[in-house]
A and B are shown apart, each in its own frame.
Chain A
Amino acid sequence: MKDKNISDQLQNSVEQAIQTKTKLIIKAGGSKDFYGRTTIGKELNISEHQGIISYEPSELFITVRAGTLLKDIESVLAENNQMLAFEPPAFGDKATIGGTIACNLSGPRRAYSGAARDFVLGTKIINGQAEVLSFGGEVMKNVAGYDVSRLITGALGTLGILLEVSLKVVPKPETEITLVHQLNIDQALLKMHQWSIQSIPISASCYYQNQLTIRLSSTEKYINTLQHLIGGEVLTDADSFWHSVKEQSHHFFDSKKPLWRLSIASNSEITSQNDDTFYEWGGALRWVKTDVSQNHTAEPLNGHISLFRSPIKRNDTFQPLPKHLLQIHRNLKQAFDPHGIFNIGRMYQQF
């Protein structure tokens, strides 16, 4: 892992962009280029901005530069028997922590431990006026000032350039086991709700083609009791299975059709064909591959739809926002990026 600080250089680039009225596309590893709307402008690469600034396992946090590779962070944490609790998908070897936070993408553990945004303690950014600003910090509890760090998380780089991020890290579970049940989807959803209410330490779940797969995380001593309680067949190559779910290398995702992401109430009705739907997060996340345009009607679905991957040009990627909410988004964009420089239109066409 490199240790290099290019903040000054990035700040200069933003100053120049303001002067020359140039729009910038913030980029690092490019592993998430497929995500969101396409945008135009001059590429500003932050990949060089790398390194761990501070990591103390007993304090449960790590502070890193945004260009640091996700896999490097994960291996440093693993050396200390710790991990990122939101199990972020990388979607490529060059994935950085900056892109991960900008997209707020979280993996199988999300429904049970929390999303990327839940573990962000603080950020350092360059705003649209080329100012370097710090928000939050490295402590678990901090309510001084507005929670800009969580606002930046998932903003797809539209509010500023992420320079550094401090994340809460957690101990790795002592042991894990993955169990497979043959069930229809209604039975599977019901089971997951029942286990959830019983405090069963589930750390991942997915359902596809009549197979409910559940990962449990606990202590060595207790895991056998749990296995007995839950039943099902033990999956032997569990790590590679969950990796394939997280990274979408599972054969379900091997398709030329557009991939839609439904983030909805976990007990929502089943609306699509068995083979076309992959369930995660206890039913709260559903992947649907179909050529039929999903017209972003969230209300009957109790949630929202986004076009996650598409072989063709993407226009309306994310669920349109109601009028007043959209206005607040535009106002916030104006507050952080008054010259309209960063990732214009990456999230919504209007900003």
Chain B
Amino acid sequence: MSQNSAEHDFPAVDLQQLVKQLSYILADDSVLYQEEDLRPYECDGLSAYQQLPLIVALPDTIEQVQKILQLCNKINLPVVARGAGTGLSGGALPYEKGLLLSLGKFNKVIEINQQLQTATVQPGVRNLAISEAVSHLGLYYAPDPSSQIACSIGGNVAENSGGVHSLKYGLTVHNIQQLKIVTIDGELITLGGTGLDSPGYDLLALMTGSEGMLGIIVEVTVKLLPKPKYVQTLLAAFDDVVNAGQAVANIISAGIIPAGLEMMDKLAIQAAEDFVHAGYPLDAEAILICELDGIEDEVTEQVAAIHTILKQSSAIEVRIAKDEQERIVFWKGRKNAFPAVGRLSPDYYCMDGTIPRKRLPQVLKAMEDLSKTYNLAVANVFHAGDGNLHPLILYDASKGQLEKAEELGGKILELCIEVGGTITGEHGVGMEKLNQMCVQFKAAEISQFHALKAAFDPKGLLNPGKAIPTLHRCAELGAMHVQDGKLPHPELERF
């Protein structure tokens, strides 16, 4: 993937001088600047984008973060924050002339409050590690992105991560109570609080999903839930994806909100089956995995109701996991769908559009057509319950197919916007979806985003060039995307 041209201009900084200044704040081994030391930081989970930073800082106290930011603010040095580096949109891609602030050393659980059902943790704590730390109390942290073994909570907040259970339990924004952030001028501020709301604007929500553009998250207090007493999972096969989509609508219409409701299409089913042998029906065009949790009587009742709905929605087969082992097998294929698809092709590119559920058949058909036009296979994995699609475009970079894959991906996202959806449900815009932001938002909206950013970071030092495109970029792109003779941004001067 081609590196995007720098959209900001910052003065060059003398590296030796910077190393010296950082040595007053951090131990020598916490400042990295030799090329071989920088290499591990050159990309996040979207490895098609690569860039070495000028320097990496590894603080382990909030005071150090404050001092680093004060220094960066003073010398106009861009800062990119990084947690576990598992993001899928290039949000933690280093800035060439900037400092990469790794929060990996912030890996401690600070406090668990059983009575209030909260855990206060440092941002580098892994998502799953929170649930593990409170498991003995019968509690857990609900959002479960598929990278939960590795991804850190700071990154989850920065991206507003979801997961397979967000249909019932919400996204990160619904499951956090307080944040401590350091602003670009080095001030430590607390957002949210121990009560259920806080005075002033809802900056806790604003910070969630802001992709490291507004401040550096240095502490997170999450809400914990009691572990469900009883979990039951159904697997249904369909010979037509339209029926599978209708089944999802029928379940929701019946007033049932499952804990998870996932769909896979034929190519994804086959890939998963070849990889983990989950026993998925290979003759199916689509399968649904539906999970219910809660108290046994309630769940049993809902499982029976859903079984009936699935049958009425023309499912060709419905299985109910007979024990925990079978339940895990049902999920195994879904949870390994990405690596499974990865075995089919040298490279794959994961998209993240979200659409109104009723548009699913239409979008699937259009994606099939696009796949043929571009001659690249697309495997589909969805969080069907909340309309979040993860089409996986299969390509071979060594055959020069990357650009074609990116273009196809862009078309799929534009399709999502067209049907009333969005270009990203949970992975973020990062470096990757800047062009599609120009399609989803008007110039005035983009300008409002920039003004909002400037309220926190007037010099634009935090994660420059990410999440929100410049108007210049949108105008240039608009010139390439003339459709039906209409320019998307007629109000802008063309460059």
Bind each other: yes
Determine whether the beta carbon of B202 is less than 8 Å from that of A335. Answer: no
How far is it, in angstroms, between the C-alpha of A138 and the C-alpha of B386 when the chains are bound? 11
Secondary structure of the B side of the interface? loop
A316 to chain B, nearest CB (A): 11
Residue A312 interfacial (CB < 8 Å): no
B387 surroundings in chain A (CB, below 8 A): 139-141
B49 within 8 A of A: no
In the complex the two chains form, what is the Cα distance from A138 to B416 in whole Å? 12
Shortest Cβ distance from residue B272 to the other chain A in the assembled complex, whole angstroms: 23
Across the interface, A155 reaches (CB within 8 A) one of B201, B301, B437, namely B201
Query: Which residues does chain A contribute within 8 Å of B249, judged by CB atoms?
Result: 58-59
Cβ-defined contact, A304 with B206, below 8 A: no
Residue of A nearest to B172 (CB): A143
A contact residues, range:
35 or more
Cβ-defined contact, A133 with B426, below 8 A: no
- B194 near A144: Cβ-Cβ < 8 Å: no
A265 and B201 alpha carbons, distance in the complex (Å): 19
The reply to whether B201 and A336 contact each other, CB–CB distance below 8 Å, is no
Is A57 located at the chain interface by the 8 A CB criterion? yes
Given contacts A146-B449, A302-B194, A335-B454, contact A141 B166 (CB under 8 A): yes
Please, which residues of chain B bring their CB within 8 A of the CB of A325? 189, 200, 203
Q: Which of B367-387 contact A (CB under 8 A)?
A: 383, 386-387
A144 to B354, CA, bound (A): 10
**Given B195, B203, B295, B354, which contacts A140 in the complex, CB threshold below 8 Å?**
B354
Contacts of B455 in A (CB 8 A): 328, 331-332, 334-335
> By the criterion CB–CB under 8 Å, are B206 and A59 in contact?
no
Contacts of B28 in A (CB 8 A): none
Selected contact of A110 from candidates B196, B208, B357, B388, CB within 8 Å: B196
Question: Closest Cβ of chain B: how far from A230's Cβ, in Å?
Answer: 13
Q: Is B459 an interface residue (CB 8 A)?
A: no
Residue from B200, B294, B467 having most chain A Cβ neighbours under 10 A: B200
- The answer, among B166, B194, B295, B468, for a CB contact under 8 Å with A303, is B194
Which residues of chain B have C-beta atoms less than 8 A from A210's C-beta? none
Complex-state Cα separation, A335 to B452, whole angstroms: 6
Closest A residue, CB atoms, query B251: A58
- Judging by beta carbons under 8 Å apart, are A144 and B440 in contact? yes
The one of B294, B425, B448 that contacts A142, using a Cβ cutoff of 8 Å: B425
Q: Is the CB of B196 within 8 A of A219?
A: no
Q: Nearest B residue to A317 by beta-carbon distance?
A: B199
Q: Which residue in A264, A298, A303, A331 is a CB contact (below 8 Å) of B456?
A: A331
User: Which residues of chain B are within 8 angstroms of A329 by Cβ–Cβ distance?
Assistant: 200-201
A138–B196 touching, CB < 8 Å: no
B194–A151 CB distance below 8 A: no
Within 8 Å by CB of B205, from A117, A298, A321, lies A117
**Residues of A participating in the B interface, judged by any CB pair closer than 8 Å:** 56-60, 81, 104, 110-111, 114-115, 117-118, 127, 129, 131-135, 137-148, 150-151, 153-155, 159, 170-172, 174, 193, 196-199, 201, 218-219, 221-222, 225, 263-267, 281, 284-285, 298, 302-304, 306, 318-319, 321-322, 324-325, 328-329, 331-332, 334-336, 347-348
Rank and list the top 9 A-B pairs by shortest CB-CB distance, nearest first: A303-B195, A171-B255, A141-B425, A331-B455, A150-B205, A335-B451, A263-B195, A140-B386, A265-B194
Known contacts A147-B209, A284-B196, A336-B448; can you find 20 more A-B pairs with CB under 8 A?
A58-B252, A59-B252, A132-B444, A133-B445, A134-B442, A140-B167, A140-B388, A142-B354, A143-B424, A143-B427, A143-B429, A145-B437, A147-B206, A147-B208, A150-B202, A151-B206, A199-B294, A265-B116, A302-B194, A328-B189
Could you tell me which B residues sit within 8 Å of A by CB distance? 114-117, 138-139, 159-160, 162, 166-167, 170-171, 173-174, 183, 187, 189, 193-203, 205-206, 208-210, 213-214, 226, 228-229, 249-250, 252-253, 255-257, 294-295, 297-298, 301-302, 354-358, 383, 386-388, 420-429, 433, 437, 440-442, 444-445, 448-449, 451-456, 467-468
Q: List 9 A-B contacts (CB under 8 A).
A: A134-B442, A141-B422, A144-B441, A148-B206, A153-B205, A171-B255, A221-B297, A302-B194, A324-B189
